[in-house]
Amino acid sequence: MTPGPKATDAQPLRSDAERNRGRIIAAARTVFERDGLGASMASVAREAGVGIATLFRHFGVKEDLIAAVFADRMDAYVAAVDDALGVPDPWAGFTGFVEAICAMQAADRGFADVLTTTFPAAEALEERRAAAYQGVVELVARAKDSGRLRQDFTTQDLVLLLVANAGVVGFAGDTVPGAWRRLVALLIQSFQAPARGPLPDAPADDALYEAMVRAGAASIASRERGSAG
């Protein structure tokens, strides 16, 4: 461990290792934003200008890197739930929350996937997700009680919306940047009470969770294939 450069201002001393870690996280943020979570560890190392061995020394598994990169986004997600619960009008709180998280997806393709992907090994990230989920349950219950949200709405419908929106965001990219706003506006109108008709049953919670776990496993597996490219 070599000593870091002398700090000439208020900045604390930082070791090479800490600098590398920060550089890797910044590079991964760029790569995940551009290519989604399927991006390879090799492409992150390239973007960071470090060797693949250095990358793996800092983040032994891709979950650790994902958790580090998206820690602040997950914080913003938790904050969006809290903000929405603070809005006096429950319907405005609910729809504002839906628009806010879909906007977060549009701003960051990697995060678009994180919202509908579970990484059981990334504990800090999953703790934030669980905390947000409790708030979302309350948000949905309040909006239903207000009579503005259809009674057959479930939190699983939010997962469907996020997956659908991730699809549109990934497809539209920078070419049709506002496309997602129209999809989300249509879906919000469909959520509004009174329901215009019955719906097929919502997917079961545990099956949806299994799909989220599978999506996570697939993101991580893509490292193997991509690292050869």
**Binding site residues, a copy of itself, CB under 8 A:** 116, 157, 160-161, 163-168, 170-173, 175-176, 178-179, 181-183, 185-187, 189-192, 195-197, 199-204, 207-208, 210-211, 214-215, 224-226, 228-229
Which of 14, 36, 34, 10 shows the shortest CA–CA distance to 223? 36
Q: CA separation (Å) from 203 to 140, 159, 194, 207, 213?
A: 17, 10, 21, 7, 15
For residue 15 the two structure tokens come to: 């070791």
> What number of other Cβ atoms are within 10 A of residue 46's Cβ?
15
> What number of other Cβ atoms are within 10 A of residue 212's Cβ?
19
Cβ 165 to a copy of itself, closest distance in Å? Answer: 7
Cβ 135 to a copy of itself, closest distance in Å? Answer: 23
137, 77 in Cβ contact below 8 A? no
Q: Which CB sits closer to a copy of itself, 26 or 176?
A: 176
Q: Which CB sits closer to a copy of itself, 124 or 171?
A: 171
Q: Which CB sits closer to a copy of itself, 21 or 110?
A: 110
Q: Which CB sits closer to a copy of itself, 61 or 187?
A: 187
Cβ 108 to a copy of itself, closest distance in Å? Answer: 16
Burial tier of 177 (Cβ tally within 10 Å: 0-12, 13-18, 19+): exposed
Cβ 184 to a copy of itself, closest distance in Å? Answer: 9
> What number of other Cβ atoms are within 10 A of residue 24's Cβ?
24
Cβ 70 to a copy of itself, closest distance in Å? Answer: 18
Buried/exposed code over 79-97 (b: 16+ C-beta within 10 A; e: otherwise): ebbeebbebeebbebbbbb
Q: Which CB sits closer to a copy of itself, 30 or 227?
A: 227
